[in-house]
Amino acid sequence: MIQTINFLKPNRDNIKNYSIIGTFLVLVSLIDVISNAFLKINLTSFLPGSLTTLFPLIIGLIGLNMMRIDYSGNKKLDLLNKNINTNNFNALLTLLILFSIIKALPQSLSWMIFDATISGDSKDACTGTGACWTYIKVWFRRFMYGMYPNEFHWRINTAFILVIALGFVGYFMKENLKKYLALYYVIIYPVIAYLVIYYLISGGSFGLQWVETGAWGGLSLTFIVSFFCLIFCFPLGMIFALGRRSNLPVIKYISICYIEFWRGVPLITVLFMSSVMFPMFLPEDFFMDKLVRVIIAITLFEAAYCAEVIRGGLQSLPRGQYDAAKSLGMGYWKMHIFVILPQALKLVIPGIANTFLALVKDTPLIFVVGLAELAGMLALAKTNPKWLGFAMEGYIFASIVFWIICYAMSKYSYNLEAKYKTER
């Protein structure tokens, strides 16, 4: 009896037979599902009713069970068993997920690619059952540049290229100027970037026609808002993080109040306040552009989150670092600039990346105050009477664009982490 069970139980001795039979059974189950999904052929129609549907699952489970050999000595098999085939329940989940993907693949592929339309330049071109990428094609400039006049798009492009190029200056800076790097990025760079964007995109001087910010929009507006909020909220957050740990009660409590206030209100109300309420308190002849107000509002809001993330990093440093810096005669600022912040900021890269990603993904909220960045332009486009009914394509497009931006940011943060990693 025991021998029979041992014989049925896969182990290293009968590994050859079992792994081959197991692989074969799993393959059979996959072939069944694939032929069902892609070719619409039911290979197991000879089986009665519900058994036909369950057939691949049962066969696959038996197959995976036979392949589950501990310490088989085969690297690939061990990897497979360790990750997706640890027990029967996990094997079941693996199969279900695999089958669902296979089942969903033909429909999504035919919708997105095979039956989709991209030719033509009006709604009439889209007669097929698939996606209407014509819509994206026709609206592409709007999605990128908003209502900004077509003939001036080069101004936005030039401004962005300039701002990006200026951002790389740090890489080429001479060794003896390296100590001014932080100063450059925190103060000089934002000012230059602001001037570039103001004179090129807004225009109004140097023979460039004035374009009001209400016409800005699309992805370029997403970039502008995110860019300024990111570079301003970080130093501001750093100041409040240090302030919250200060020994001076006034500074400490101002920082706490600030952080707790901004963390306690929803971003959407902050945006409404900035665009509706705030101008009421300003003197009549004082004008501040809506876009500037929105950027300030988001910056102040996100600075509170940055502050708490950075404070986490400051708190994780051992007290000995403070002691050592103090014992060498460093004052508060020298200690923080040379010893504490370089270490703390390195620790909070993942948290800061998190906050920044959230910020970028929060920018569509500025639609509520009438600024249409990428998602906002979509909302406008889908209600255009000539182009009703293509919301799906629009949102898929927006998701892909946002995903690319955010993935690039998170990749960059991993790179930074690796770059500044030192053994502790």
List interacting residues with another protein (CB under 8 A).
Answer: 318, 320-321, 323-331, 334, 338-339, 342-343, 346, 420, 422-424
Least separation in angstroms between CB 334 and another protein = 5
Identify which of residues 117 and 343 has a Cβ nearer to another protein in the complex: 343
Least Cβ distance, residue 174 to another protein (angstroms): 15
Q: Are 295 and 228 in contact (CB under 8 A)?
A: yes
- Considering beta carbons, is residue 110 or 343 the nearer one to another protein? 343
Q: How far is the CB of 335 from another protein (least distance, A)?
A: 9
Least Cβ distance, residue 419 to another protein (angstroms): 12
Nearest to 32 by CA among 12, 52, 48, 18: 52
The residue (of 178 and 411) whose beta carbon lies closer to another protein is 178
348 or 371, CB closer to another protein? Answer: 348
CB of 321 to another protein, least distance (A): 6
Query: Residue 322 Cβ, how far from another protein at the closest point, in Å?
Result: 9
Please name the amino acid found at residue 39: L
Name which of 166 and 345 has its Cβ closer to another protein: 345
Could you tell me the two tokens for 22?
């197991």
The nearer residue to another protein, 48 or 331, going by C-beta atoms, is 331
